Amino acid sequence: MKDYPDRMTPAQARMFRDDVLNIVSQIPRGRVTTYGYIAALAGWPSHSRMVGRTLRYTPGAEQLPCHRVVNQVGRTAPGWSRQRTLLEEEGVTFKANGHVDMSRHLWEPSDPFLR
DNA sequence: CACGTGACCCTAT
DNA sequence: TATAGGGCCACGT
């Protein structure tokens, strides 16, 4: 049973986008977090895919540390090889399979200020 | 209106 | 740890 709305109004979509950008801007250097976690934090647990869409298509998102966002197993964004370079420059370590070592760099903010 | 397509996630195997 | 299958939701065609 979901205790959250399952569809966004345009106004909610704008708020969601702002929350996502706000959260991403708070990821510390050398740490990473996941799409799903960001979505849940913004109050829309089932919208992890929308987080990726937001970062991809929102103008100005490239000025945020969006390279610190990976999926749940630490895989980097497809077609964006530079992401790995940026992370490595911050000291993030990768495993032999090409995934970020999540057990070491996952960032889980307790309760970022939103709204 | 019906499909296909993702910077995704969960569970089972 | 790696794969496979199903679920999910906004968008374009």
Quick: pLDDT tens for A42-56. 999 999 999 999 999
Q: Residue A69: pLDDT above 70?
A: yes
CA of A92 to C1' of B5 (A): 31
CB A46 within 8 A of CB A6: yes
Residue A82 carries which side chain, given as an amino acid letter? R
Determine the distance from the C-alpha atom of residue A6 to the mean position of all C-alpha atoms in its chain, rounded to a whole number.
20
Nucleotides of C under 7 A from a protein CB: 1-2, 7-11
pLDDT at A108: 82
CB A104 within 8 A of CB A93: yes
Q: What is the largest CA-CA distance in chain A?
A: 43
pLDDT at A1: 45
Protein residues with Cβ atoms closer than 7 angstroms to any atom of nucleic acid strand C: A 6-8, 13, 46-50, 53, 73, 97, 99
**pTM of the predicted model, to two decimals?**
0.90
